[in-house]
Each structure stands twice: as structure tokens, then as C-alpha cells.
Chain A
Amino acid sequence: MRPFDSQKLLMTLVILTLAFGGTVYLNLSEQELTTLVVPANDLPIYHLITASDLMTATLSTAVLPAAPLQQTSELAGRYTSQTLTAEEAVTDAQLVPAVDEKYVLNTTAVSISATAAMAYNGRLAAGAMVTVWTVTDAGQAQPLLEEALVLDVQKAEGQGESEEKAFPYVVILAVPRPKQAELLTAVATGSLMLTFTP
């Protein structure tokens, strides 16, 4: 019979012991639980989170992301910047930066195609407050919407190449509901400009 390789068997046993030991250790450490606030249901993108969207859950620290938000006050009144999964911890990066409640109450997310100049060449970011200007037929600029919250700025995708060259960005604004129609009309005429104070 071919000589038995006892050292190889020993090595295999050591590796399996390490794997098993590590698994047991992690399973035991998963028992460390923490209680925090999480979405009760899946929340869509650009959704204004209210207290009714939230619930308290006890989760294992092993499955938590770095720096999760824990209190209702840290989540309620803020917009989601991506889809949130039910009963999973939320981080600051998944939400639009916190702003005064008055800028988000009774608003709707409206996206507008933006030129490089309008999006400050990509430097305009979520959380910024902008003024939307429209230009009249007489060539006069007038503020259409003051202090509108920027929910997100994305690179334009899925349009024609020429369209993407002309409007390389999409800016999503929290627009007060009464102003929606006026803004959409201005978008259709294509005479918009954004300004913001850093």
C-alpha cells in the first residue's frame, strides 16, 4: 500500500479546525445584539421618510454597516437617495443630507435635464439649496422657485448621444406641489437656469 501521508491529514485537520473554530466564534459573537430604528417596509428612492415608515428592530452587530443611524429623529423628515430595504439598518449615505423640514414638506421629487453649467459641471450635489430661474419671452430672468432642495444629481443615461452631450446631468429637486405645473411648463420651453449659494 502506498505510504499514508499523515502530515497532510494533520494539515487538513488544522485547516478544518480553524474554519470550524472561526465559524463558531462568529456565531457566538453574532449574539451581540443592538436595537435601532429601521424602515418597516421597502422604501422607494426620493421618498420622504415619516415616523410611520419606521419601526424598532433588534439586529446582530455582525450584520450592521459602519455607523448606522439609530434614532427616529435621525431618519424622519429626510429623503431617501436610494431604495431602502425593510428591516435593514440605514446609513447617512443612503439619505439626502439633513435640511430644515420646511424644504421637504408638501414637496414632490421632480427631475430636470441639466446642462453642465446648470449642474455646476457636476459639483452640484444632493442637499444643496438652489434657486430655479426662468427666462421670459422678453429675455428677462425671473426666479421661478426659491430655496429648492436638490435631492440628487445623476449623470444622464439612456438618452441619445446628442441629448446626453447637451444635457449631461439630471438634477432631482424637491418642488413644492403648487409650483410643479409652473416648473414643468418652464422645463418644456427649455429656458431654465439654476443658481445656488455654497
Chain B
Amino acid sequence: MDTLTNWRERLISKTSRPTLVTTYRYWLWLALLTVVLINGMYQYSTQWRNGLYVTDMRDRISWGLYITAFVFFIGISHAGTLISAILRASKASWRAPITRIAEFITAVALIVGASFVLIDMGRPERILNVYLFGRWQSPIMWDVMAITTYLTASIIYLYAPMIPDLALYRDRLSKKVGTVRAFLYRTLALDWRGTPSQLKLLGKAITIMMLIIIPIAVSVHTVVSWIFSMTLRVGWNSSIFGVLFVAGAIFSGVATLILVMAILRRIYQWEEYLTEKHFVYLGYLLAAFGAFMIYVNINEYLTEGFKLEEAGEFAFRQLFIEDFAVMFWFYIIGGLLGPVVLMLIPKTRTIGGVVAAAILVDIAMFLERYFIVVTGLRVPLMPYEPASYAPTFAEWSIFAAGIALFCLLITIAIKIFPMFAVWEMTEEHEAVFAGADRAQESMATSGAPNAAAFIDGAPDQRQRTEGDAP
């Protein structure tokens, strides 16, 4: 049987492999992302010169793909908080291997999402007016405050639990990597020695950050929804918008986490650490949030649709049976019902099934953000023909560049930072080891198979015990 030391050594060597080994496929991938990014930057330069004229947004549909992307990426950023903070708070032991990846997604998605606000601005060079003349009565200012707070908090929350791992890299990899990274590890590790006082301090810091980051994250997407629901528009004028947006944010965040995990697992052979169990548990989360989203949607559309106030008929027609019906029903059936069904059927309760559900959810949530933004603006306010909107090549290019930037930042982060919380995983593993020993001593039958299953990276669904439930 594997000893603890062997296990840890294997963990370190496997998880630090991307930091040490760079394949030609990595460079190809990096080149592809750079091309997409440069194309987007070029398109943005034409927008900078000519104004938002290069988009298809006009006076009547004055927000489009950029605001959709903003809402979508800020939504994705909720992956880190939920997985990391909520599971940490609820002491779910299986979270350890996925927290770091989730926290990176949060920070990166926030940076990308926030940049779409700048991209959407008519006068981006006047951004400092927000600080010079900011009015706290404006929902935009609430967003500026909430997102900057969340970005700061999530970077601290990403960084603090990473300190012991950075110290590990400093001790183990400094000689193997270049001077830049060696300097980075030395600096960022903050002279971490793993002394009891340091551990105590770190534990305290993580607990505090964990507790404050949950309300911050909830506030962020609530405030994002308020940009819409603080207006007098049919379809946006809704009190449930905050709930819909927060639930949708966590929903798409978990889906994105699943996708990133699946890709990294395949490329770097991390099957031992990102096990089927993690995917299935995240799949359960997806299904739970899918069900909750269905409930919120029924609440939203039934209360509005039953009464069908003035202009409500137009709003419902375009969404349910006309222009946006395909998007809407794909969202309801594929994106919300889909993951629930996939997780209900035992046969699809596999990594493949969970990944399929995650793809459905991400597409559906993007479409949801899109039709919320566009249909809300499309409802005519005065007697005029409803406007139409189709994003231009420039808009799609810049949106693609946003996705490329998201991938690029994660791709670069993999080269530099420890993507696994090695120290936390070791702690968990020790606990499981100790638990297994105790179990073997007292009752050799019940608890042990489960612990062994976790070590071997092959969870046994039938023998999973209560304590492991998410």
C-alpha cells in the first residue's frame, strides 16, 4: 500500500509537471489564443477610432454582446467562491483538489468580465470620471464598487491558501525553473516555513476571507442584475432578478469549472486527483442549481405572463414563440432541464455525462444573458417598429478575444502557479489515512473501502457513506 510520503511525492511531481515541462502543443495553443486575441484587439482599435459605430448596437437596442459578455463572465467568476468558500465553510472534504482551479477561474473571469464594461463604453478614456464625479445613487457605481471589492477579495482568497504551495515550489523547483519564476516564488512565498504560528495565522486569514467572500460574491451578481431591474423596462422590471442572476452565476460557474477540470485532467493526466467522484459531485450541484433555476424562471415568467401588462404581450411573444424562441427553449430544455435529467439517469452519471451537462449549461447561460439584455431593450417604448440587433464581425471578434483572454490567463497561470492545494490535499489525505487506520483497527468492514476508493482514484458509488455527501 501507498505510504503517505510516496503519495505526496507523486502528487508534487504530477501537479508541478506543467511548470517544468512545456510541450510543442502548449505553444501551438498559446499561438492560437494570441491570434484570436490580436484579432480582437485590432477590431477594438477600429472601434476606438470610429466609435461604437462598428457594432450593430443602435439607439433602440443600445446594449448587446458586450454587456452579455460582461454578465456572462462575471457569472462564471462565481465558480471559485461557491466551490471554495461554501464547501470550505461546510467542511466538505472532497473539495481540496478543485479549490485552486476554481479560484483561478474566479480571478480570471472577473478580469475578463470587467474589461467588457470598458469595451462597451462610448468614451473609455473618460473612465476616471467614475472616480472624479461618481454618484453612489447609480447602479453602475454599485457595480464598480462590488466588482473591484470582489476582485480584490478573490485575489487575496486565491493567494492566501497558495502561500504554502508557493513555498513548496520555492524549495523544490527554484533551481529547475528560470530566475524570473524563482524570484516570483521566493517573493510570493513570504518566507513561509510552515511553523505552527504561521499555520495558525494562515488558517485564520483563510477563515476570515472565506466568510466575507460569500456575501461579497452574492452581492456582485445581485448588483449586476440591478443594472437591468432598476429600469422601467418590461422584462427587466422584476424583483426576482437578483436571485435569478446569482443562481445563474453559480450555475454557469460550476459548469465552467467542470469544463476546465476535464480539459486539464486530460492534458496533464491528473485522473488520480480529479476523480470521477469530483465530477459527479459537481454534477449534482449542477442539477440542484438547474432545478432551482427552473423554479426561479417559473416564478419570473408566470407572474409576469399571467397578468400580461401593457407591452408584456410583445415581450412574451418574442421570447416564447417568435424571434428568440429557439434560444429561450434551448435554455429551458437543454440548459436547465438537461443537466437535471443527465444526473437523474444512472447511466449518464459519469464524467462524460457531467461534461455534456456542463457544455449545455454554459451555452444556455450565455444565451440567457443574451436574450435578457436584447429582448428587454427590444420591447418598443413608443409606437415604433421594433428594432433588430445582430452582432457584427467586430463584436464577435472582441467577444472571441474575451474567451481567448480567459483561456490565455489560465494557460499562463498553469505554467507559473501551483494548480493544486498540495498542502490541503496532503492534510485531507492524512485524515483519510488516519481514518482508514482507525477503521481497520475497530471495524474492518464499513469505513475502509471508501477511504481506499478515494486513494485509488476510483470512487465506488454503491459504498459511498453519508459523510461524503456534498
Partners in one complex: no
